[in-house]
Amino acid sequence: MSQIKEVELSIEHAKGLVARKDQALKLTDNKDFKALVLQGYFVDEASRLALLSSDPMLDAEQRADVMQGVLALGYFKRYMSGIIQFGRMAENDLKAHTETLSELHNEGAE
């Protein structure tokens, strides 16, 4: 594969990550997403599960279910944060790849 083709593929990959970041940020600005997920799930449900986890009436299976709920919250939050973080890094990569592609074209590389 030529250097130009490799850089072009890197640019397309970075553009995809940036687009996903933009989608995630658009969600965080949506009032329904804020109410249902950012507040309802990440705050309210997290608090409910934290309180429930200390309930002495829970048996081992119920306590395990509560902990699975806590883990699910964390995994989803990390997933959304990762999309934004990788997209921001890809924005920087996109600039560098674009400059590299321009240089390769100027040098007449294949």
Helix locations, the chain, DSSP H: 3-29, 31-33, 46-53, 60-107
Retrieve residue 109's tokens: 């590389």
What is the DSSP code (8-state) at residue 1? Answer: -
Look up the pTM and report it.
0.83
Q: What is the pLDDT of residues 10-36, one digit of tens each?
A: 999 999 999 999 999 999 999 999 999
Percentage above 70 pLDDT, the chain: 98
Domain positions in the chain are: 3-107
109 within 8 A of 1, measured Cβ to Cβ: no
